[in-house]
Amino acid sequence: MKKIIRQIGLLLGPVVMVSGCTFETGNDVDSLDDCIDNECVNGTCEDWIDSYSCECEPGWEGDLCDVPVTADTDDTETGDTETDDTETDDTETGDTDGTDSGDTDDTDDSDSSDTETSDTDTGSDTTPVDTDTVITDTDTIEEDTDTGIADVVWVTIPAGTYAMGYSAYIGDPGDETPVHDVTIPEFDILQTEVTAAQYTACVTAGYCSIPSTGTRSNFHAGAEFADHPVNFVSWDQAFEFCDWIGGRLPSESEWEYAARSAGLVVRYPWGDTLPTCALTVMNEGGWGCGENLTAPVCSRPDGDTLHGLCDMSGNVSEWVQDCYNTTYNGAPTDGSALDAPSCTYGRVARGGHLGIATASENQLTVSYRASWIYTSQTDSVGFRCAR
């Protein structure tokens, strides 16, 4: 019972203790005055939602907590209460540590056995990936009273080495060269772009700030757009959300490796077929495939990667961790991000967006890079997290 009260209290408001009896939904003490006047003989008092009852101390039962219970009943109730309190305390402590520290390894160790392999040192593993097998971790993050997110899905991307970049454009592709080998350790990445509903939960929790307003702002557009990608978020806001769920922004090399289904030589997440609205949310017949809007995440399954990642091309571009540089000269080769105290050329966004037309199809490729000032908040940029 105490665990249930604590969980409901976290959702609906604090529980107020008053000496005498317990107030909670659907029970029998007639009034607050009865409680304060000690109608509950052996109990404690919690006041909320305008209805109440006696919460009996161990060893007592009955509407007024005035009937002794047997030793067996007392032991059982006490044991259940202690177990529930312990579990709840462990959950709250783990969530707080994961949120405050931003330590991805610690979060992975405590959250789920599914992610323990992400701590394995596989950076030197260059074994070819079996691309006929879709390796998808569809376990969800456990719902808890701190994050309240039940529908975030992490997908495990296996370790490997791949050729990052592209050099076959007509003319100079510039910032996508030189093509260079990067070794990526195993990591997890979200299956979808972070949605407006998921980001709203972070705002409600007091951890994330509100996105800016504007045309096509999904956060401000109401329940109809809850499953659309959140947009009008800056790099800092994306960083905050990922920290809140115990993750981080992916590095640029991790993002491209995942978009290539663990490093395949392809132009787009689905292969080499030119983009259409059957495969991605783009500018074909108008922005957003003629709707002038983003689309719900995972609305183009034929455009998914082999690992089931949705919208790695189109819908919204995605912030990554890296500072932008005009070439890959000096870029990390170990899967880490190119970071600096200040980013001279801004931060990188990947994946193209709903406004890219067929004539600019190169901006929907797995190798395309865009640079944005980190404070930018626009309709065409969102994010997904890694860990």
pLDDT in tens, 22-47: 333 333 444 444 444 445 566 654 44
Q: Would you list the domain boundaries of the chain?
A: 2-93, 109-383
pLDDT at 342 (0 to 100): 79
pLDDT at 106 (0 to 100): 36
8-state DSSP, 143: P
Q: Tokens 């959950």 belong to which residue?
A: 91
Rounded average pLDDT over 112-131? 35
Cα 231 to Cα 215: distance, rounded to the nearest angstrom: 10
Rounded average pLDDT over 50-75? 55
pLDDT bracket for residue 79 (50, 70, 90): very low
Neighbouring C-beta atoms of residue 329, cutoff 10 Å: 9
pLDDT at 326 (0 to 100): 93
- Residue 283 pLDDT > 70, yes or no? yes
pLDDT bracket for residue 287 (50, 70, 90): very high
pLDDT at 359 (0 to 100): 86
pLDDT bracket for residue 335 (50, 70, 90): very high
pLDDT at 182 (0 to 100): 98
Give 147-173 pLDDT, tens digit per residue: 456 478 999 999 999 999 997 765 666
What's the fold here for domain 109-383? paralog of FGE (formylglycine-generating enzyme) (3.90.1580)
The DSSP secondary structure of 186-253, one letter per residue, reads -EEEESSPPBHHHHHHHHHTTSSPPPPP-TT-STTS-GGGTTSBP-S--HHHHHHHHHHTT-BPPPHH
* C-alpha to C-alpha distances, 11 to 22, 82, 87, nearest whole angstrom: 18, 22, 18
The DSSP secondary structure of 284-343, one letter per residue, reads SSSTTTTTSS---TT--GGG--TT----SSSSSEEEEEEEP-SS-TT--SSS-----SS-
Q: In terms of C-beta density within 10 A (0-12 exposed, 13-18 middle, 19 or more buried), how is residue 16 classed?
A: exposed
pLDDT at 344 (0 to 100): 87
More confident residue, 175 or 103: 175
Rounded average pLDDT over 294-320? 97
Helix (H, G, I), strand (E, B) or coil at 153: strand
Of the candidates 164, 230, 211, 204, which has an alpha carbon nearest to the alpha carbon of residue 384?
A: 230
More confident residue, 377 or 111: 377
Q: Are 196 and 297 in contact (CB under 8 A)?
A: no
Lowest mean pLDDT among 51-60, 147-156, 285-294: 51-60
Sheet holding 55-56, edge to edge: 16-20, 43-47, 55-56
8-state DSSP, 110: H
Of all residues in the chain, the percent with pLDDT exceeding 70 is 60
pLDDT bracket for residue 381 (50, 70, 90): very high
* C-alpha to C-alpha distances, 327 to 173, 174, 323, 346, nearest whole angstrom: 10, 6, 12, 14
Q: Are 156 and 117 in contact (CB under 8 A)?
A: yes
Give 196-242 pLDDT, tens digit per residue: 999 999 999 999 999 999 888 999 999 999 999 999 999 999 999 99
Whole-model pTM over 0.75: no
Cα 303 to Cα 299: distance, rounded to the nearest angstrom: 9
| Strand extents, DSSP E, 122-190 | 154-157, 160-164, 180-184, 187-190
- Residue 266 pLDDT > 90, yes or no? yes
The residues near 108 (Cβ < 8 Å, ≥ 6 apart) are: 115, 116, 118, 119, 188, 246, 387
Q: What angle do CA 7, 13, 3 make, to 5 degrees?
A: 20
Cα 155 to Cα 141: distance, rounded to the nearest angstrom: 11
Q: In terms of C-beta density within 10 A (0-12 exposed, 13-18 middle, 19 or more buried), how is residue 288 classed?
A: buried
pLDDT at 83 (0 to 100): 33
Mean pLDDT computed over every residue of the chain: 74
pLDDT at 68 (0 to 100): 72
Query: Going by DSSP bridges, is the β-strand pair 381-383/317-323 parallel, antiparallel, or unpaired?
Result: parallel
Q: Which residues pair with 182 in a beta bridge?
A: 162
